[in-house]
Amino acid sequence: MADTYYNPEDLAKFGKVTDWQEELGKKFFDYYGSVFKDGALTAREKSLIALAVAHTIQCPYCIDAYTKDTIKKGCEEEEMMEAVHVATAIRGGASLVHGVQMMNKANEMLM
């Protein structure tokens, strides 16, 4: 076991998950590959979405992978940071919108 929970080198070993369960692992990677192909959304747009999601789930592997991928796909620094702000706005908004729940509850409790 490594000294830290996350090790950058583990990202390159992702494919090895199939060693312990080949069928499901393979299905996942096939599916993953298809998801990121050009479709109704371009591969570039998908990469920016992935970058935003990576920040939402705060996965260091995904942040590493999609920072690299968006740069390779020619995305600008501003586009990348805006994607992170989208994630932040949704995340922040998700907390804040619950303020309504709080207000409902408080209004119900108080005279």
Partner 1 sequence: MKLTKSLKAQAHELANIERQLGILSDAESIGVAPFSSKMAEIGMLPLKPTALDIFQVNVGKMCNQVCKHCHVDAGPDRKEIMTKETMQMCLDALEGTSISTVDLTGGAPEMNPHFRWFVEKLSEMKKNILVRCNLTIIVANKKYYDLPDFFKKHNVEVVSSLPYFSARRTDAQRGEGVFEKSIRALTMLNAVGYGVEGSGLTLNLVYNPSGAFLPDSQGTLEAQFKKKLRDGYGISFNNLFAITNLPISRFLDYLVNTGKYETYMEELVNAFNPEAALGVMCRNTLSVGWDGHLYDCDFNQMLDLKLAGNAPNHIRDFNLKSLNERDIILNQHCYGCTAGAGSSCGGETI
8 A C-beta contact, residue 43 and residue 33: no
Q: Is residue 49 involved in binding partner 1 (CB under 8 A)?
A: no
3 state SS of 12: helix
Q: Is residue 43 involved in binding partner 1 (CB under 8 A)?
A: yes
Binder among 68, 85, 98, 105 for partner 1 (CB under 8 A): 68
- State the minimum distance, in angstroms, from the CB of residue 72 to partner 1: 4
Tokens 């586009």 correspond to what residue? 79
CA–CA separation, 60 and 24 (whole Å): 23
- State the minimum distance, in angstroms, from the CB of residue 98 to partner 1: 39
Here the tokens at position 37 are 């192909």
CA–CA separation, 47 and 37 (whole Å): 10
Q: Is residue 42 involved in binding partner 1 (CB under 8 A)?
A: yes
The residue (of 73 and 91) whose beta carbon lies closer to partner 1 is: 73
Residues contributing to the site for partner 1 (CB under 8 A)? 42-44, 68, 71-74, 76-77
